[in-house]
Amino acid sequence: MSVRQTTADVVVVDYGLGNLRSVTRGLERAGADVSLSEDPAEFDAADGIVLPGVGAFSEGMDNAGPFREALVEQAEAGKPLFGICLGMQMLLTTSEEADHAGQGDAEGLDLIPGKNVRFSRDQTVPHMGWNELDVTRDHPLVEGVDGEHAYFVHSYYAVPDDENATVATTDYGADFASVVANDAGNVFGTQFHPEKSGETGLRILRNYVDYCLDH
């Protein structure tokens, strides 16, 4: 009789721009065995990969360059890949942030086709603080969090090409995608920081750990 694995081995990608300590602590509280990795070769043995991130899109993609090929390969093979904040934006195709900084188009991972755009001028930027999650379609990551609040800090937001890629929205003058996922469901991201979002964030991280164990 096979014994069901009860702890997920999760790799947090250390590419120099993540909020690594709080992400690691949050995942450990959610029941994961967590390792920080600067080596894409370590992705193979993991049950799931987390791409955290704070800062600018272009810098993020530059720093993540050595990981790009491995992240795309793992995602296409079905490995659960979870992007957080900038990490979520990096799952998309491009970002206006590079244009805004005069750097031209910076290419994201293109695992969820779409673009990151800046909030309009009549909105206070950055969008910072607690805001509500409105789950728009089923996905294991958001089970039990519809109507709950999460903690945001960002000036850009994701606009997926396919509206079905939006899993949850949040209202900040207008609705924007606060949780996204690919068609297969194994690549997903949150614009907010689950590791800073109290019980709601812990529920999402536990949902992620469960998803890693089930896939």
pLDDT tens digits, one per residue of 37-50: 999 999 999 999 99
Of 43 and 121, the structure prediction assigns the larger pLDDT to 43
Active-site position among 97, 127, 193, 212? 193
Catalytic site includes residue 107: no
Percentage above 70 pLDDT, the chain: 94
Give the pLDDT mean for 107-115. 96
- In the block, tokens 């910076």 appear at 106
At residue 97 the predicted structure's pLDDT band, cuts being 50, 70 and 90, is confident
**Over 80: is that where the pLDDT of 134 sits?**
yes
What is the token pair recorded at 8?
A: 């997920």
Number of neighbouring beta carbons within 10 Å of residue 71? 23
Q: Tell me the average pLDDT across 164-171.
A: 98
What value does the mean pLDDT of the chain take? 93
Distance CA 71, CA 74 (A): 5
Determine the length of the chain: 215
Q: Would you call 193 a catalytic residue per the annotation?
A: yes
Q: Write down the pLDDT at residue 101.
A: 57
Examine the residue annotation and report whether 69 is marked as an active-site residue of this protein: no
- Catalytic entry in 97, 149, 195, 212: 195
How large is the angle between the packed helices 198-214 and 20-29, nearest 10 degrees? 70
Q: What is the mean pLDDT of residues 133-151?
A: 98
- pLDDT of amino acid 156: 94
pLDDT of residue 98: 66
pLDDT band per the 50, 70, 90 thresholds, residue 19:
confident
Residue, of 102 and 142, whose pLDDT is higher: 142
Record the pTM: 0.94
Rounded-to-integer distance, Cα 3 and Cα 24, Å? 26
pLDDT at 1: 46
Catalytic one of 85, 97, 149, 212: 85
